[in-house]
Amino acid sequence: MKLFRTVLVGVGLACAATNAVQAAETAPSNVTHDDYGSVAASLTGVAGDPARGAAVMTDRGLGNCIACHEVTALKDAPWHGEVGPVLDGAGSRWTEADLRGIVVNSKMVFDGTIMPAYYKNSGYVRPGDLYTGKAGPAEMPTILSAQQVEDVVAFLLTLQD
Ligand code: HEC
């Protein structure tokens, strides 16, 4: 019985923690870009983890950034594309706010770019529901979660000249 109660308390605490994190997250539609496309405020208030950011950038199901960008620090990951600029030194060229803006929605920084918007869930033209041929869900999922964006930004900041 004592064990059972301990477990219940544990579950309760875990739920409380999850709710707290969600409450602090900025929803995609509430992100504000300044005139240059930068996003000054952290999306989560939780410091990004560069190692997890590197993992997101090389994961084909997540960022898949290296499909378009070469990054010397990630050279162990297979095949790097050359569609976008080499990201070496990106942390020296751009501020944290600039990088957050680029990852959230690069179209706010580079007009008409082919780079995907990673934290955006509205404003698409007739989105479909994957390959079903049906209309998309009312609330589109973002490619990356808010914390994954912060993790990627943290990794990009490590790319210094
Ligand atoms: C489909 C290709 C594509 C993908 C995928 C992509 N990008 Fe880009 N990215 C570009 C292009 C092209 C540019 C150059 C901007 C333009 O379009 O003029 C760019 C620009 C950038 C820049 C500014 C370049 C610099 O260093 O001066 C950063 C930073 C960046 N991307 C980060 C990322 C990250 C991080 C990811 C993954 C989360 C990513 N990109 C995924 C195509 C891509």
Helix pair 96-105, 146-157: axis angle to 10 deg: 130
What are the chain's domains?
28-40+48-157 (1.10.760.10)
Torsion sign (Cα): 5, 24, 110, 38? negative
How far is the C-alpha of 85 from the C-alpha of 99, rounded, in Å? 14
CA of 19 to the centre of ligand 1 (A): 32
Q: Whose CA is nearest to atom 27 of ligand 1?
A: 90
pLDDT tens digit string along 93-136?
A: 999 999 999 999 999 999 999 999 999 988 776 667 777 888 77
- Asked whether 86 lines ligand 1 (CB < 6 A), one says no
Q: Scanning the structure block, which residue is given the tokens 């499909």?
A: 67
Distance 106 CA to ligand 1 centre (A): 8
* Token duo for residue 20: 């707290």
pLDDT tens digits, residue range 52-78? 999 999 999 999 999 999 999 999 988
Beta carbon of 74 within 6 Å of any ligand 1 atom: no
pTM metric for this prediction: 0.84
